[in-house]
């Protein structure tokens, strides 16, 4: 059975008990629920905010500093506490966590995108729970806008998550900010692409979290690009995870327009320029066309063009008919050396191995004949 993958984002206000220090008890409750998700075949990836807030507590600051450098310093201090706390909670269940610090730029650079994707998928393969946060030391804009909602959506795109769960301090998205308007009503379900919902979402209200609902709704739109459904729900009710797992819909559900794989393939097919060509033998061409299999080096007879790892290349049969296109795991020079080689020979030929496929089937779009 192939596991479902959920990216679960937890905001600062919630994690740090509104700035009173990490709420370890509540973290343990979420972790217990996430472990129950795993038992139900759902792989959680945690996107955890709270580094700046926890750093401020550790440094004895009561107000978020204006200076970005001081916020970065606080994040570096607080990240220590954050990862220690997550690791301690998961260790009680015999599970390891892994700290993954990313920036938005990492995910818009194709090579780093593939590297981040491989690392995250490898961690999941080892049953490790990735705990992701923004790499605040090296970014300035994101720390100013506090945008882990966007980061969580980009991670959902990266790992083709089925669902993005944004846990916050409200029951979900209301038709107006409930802090300002006590009569505001909860939106139960909408399309992520509906412009009306963006208009309802205001900025942050807690003083600790920064993005408010506006970044959450935008994140739902980004997550929808790779087909993920978004739930915005209250992290004060850890049972929301169990409810979601049971097929109920707590909080606000924001639906994508397409399924995860179709959305990813549309994105792959439409957005990247071809940098080179791989010529496949008849067997490999048939496997791609008929089974949508990954492309292994053994089925490649020739390589044309100059490309880097992560770039888009065309796959053609020996008659020059284009079979597929996809993101290649090795650069042109390495791909040439791997022609006709078995996957177990890659490390011997190159002295290292990224992946056993030249192009993984998730990164491959097979073209219609005709
Ligand atoms: N339409 C809305 N529905 C719900 N909350 C809203 C809305 N507009 C603005 N908000 C504010 O967004 C806040 C949550 O965002 P934020 O403080 O950034 O939390 P987090 O730390 O979880 O990211 C809420 O406490 C609320 O005041
Ligand atoms: N990387 C920052 C994230 C800040 C942020 O996005 O906060 P939030 O709006 O509470 O999710 C931190 O860990 O403090």
Interface ipTM: 0.96
pLDDT tens-place string over residues 10-61: 998 888 877 788 999 999 999 999 999 999 999 999 999 999 999 999 999 9
55 touches ligand 2 (CB under 6 Å): no
Confidence band for 144, pLDDT divided at 50, 70 and 90: low
User: Residue 15: CB within 6 Å of ligand 2?
Assistant: no
CA of 258 to the centre of ligand 2 (A): 29
203-215 confidence digits (pLDDT tens):
665 555 456 899 9
- Nearest ligand 1 atom, CA 176: 1
* Res. 190 pLDDT band, cuts 50 70 90: very high
What span, in angstroms and rounded, lies between the C-alpha atoms of 271 and 268? 6
Q: Which of 66, 150, 75 is nearest to 105 (CA)?
A: 150
Q: What is the average pLDDT across 338-351? A: 96
Res. 201 pLDDT band, cuts 50 70 90: confident
What pLDDT score was predicted for residue 160? 87
pLDDT given at position 16: 85
pTM here is 0.81
pLDDT band for 261, please (50, 70, 90 cuts). low
Is the Cβ atom of 134 under 6 angstroms away from ligand 2? Answer: yes
For residue 182, which ligand has an atom nearest its CA? 1
**Torsion sign over Cα 149, 155, 160, 164:** negative
User: Which residue reads 């177990």 in tokens?
Assistant: 344
């Amino acid at each position: 059975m192939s596991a479902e993958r959920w990216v679960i984002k937890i905001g600062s206000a919630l994690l740090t008990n509104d700035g009173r220090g990490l709420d370890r008890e509540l973290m343990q409750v979420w972790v217990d629920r996430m472990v129950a998700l795993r038992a139900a075949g759902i792989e959680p990836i945690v996107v955890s905010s709270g580094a700046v807030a926890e750093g401020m507590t550790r440094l004895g600051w009561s107000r978020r500093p204006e200076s970005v450098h001081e916020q970065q310093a606080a994040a570096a201090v607080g990240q220590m506490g954050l990862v220690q706390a997550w690791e301690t909670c998961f260790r009680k269940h015999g599970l390891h966590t892994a700290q993954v610090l990313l920036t938005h730029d990492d995910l818009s650079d194709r090579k780093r995108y593939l590297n981040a994707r491989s690392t995250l998928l490898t961690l999941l393969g080892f049953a490790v729970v990735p705990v992701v946060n923004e790499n605040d030391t090296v970014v300035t804009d994101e720390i100013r806008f506090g945008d882990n909602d966007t980061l969580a959506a980009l991670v959902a795109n990266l790992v083709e998550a089925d669902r993005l769960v944004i846990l916050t301090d409200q029951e979900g998205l209301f038709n107006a900010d409930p802090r300002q308007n006590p009569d505001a009503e909860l939106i139960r379900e909408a399309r992520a692409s509906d412009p009306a919902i963006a208009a309802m979402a205001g900025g942050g209200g807690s003083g600790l979290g920064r993005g408010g609902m506006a970044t959450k709704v935008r994140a739902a739109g980004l997550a929808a690009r790779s087909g993920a459904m978004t739930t915005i729900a209250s992290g004060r009710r850890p049972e929301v995870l169990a409810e979601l797992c049971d097929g109920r819909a707590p909080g606000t559900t924001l639906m994508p327009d397409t399924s995860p794989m179709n959305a990813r393939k549309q994105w792959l097919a439409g957005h990247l320029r071809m940098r080179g060509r791989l010529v496949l033998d008849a067997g490999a061409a048939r496997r791609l066309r008929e089974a949508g299999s990954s492309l292994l080096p053994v089925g490649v007879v020739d390589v044309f063009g100059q490309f880097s790892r992560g770039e888009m290349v065309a796959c053609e049969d020996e008659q020059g008919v284009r079979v597929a296109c996809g993101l290649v795991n090795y650069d042109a020079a390495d791909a040439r050396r791997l022609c006709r080689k078995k996957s177990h020979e890659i490390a011997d030929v190159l002295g290292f191995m990224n992946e056993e496929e030249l192009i993984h089937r998730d990164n491959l779009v097979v073209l219609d004949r005709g």
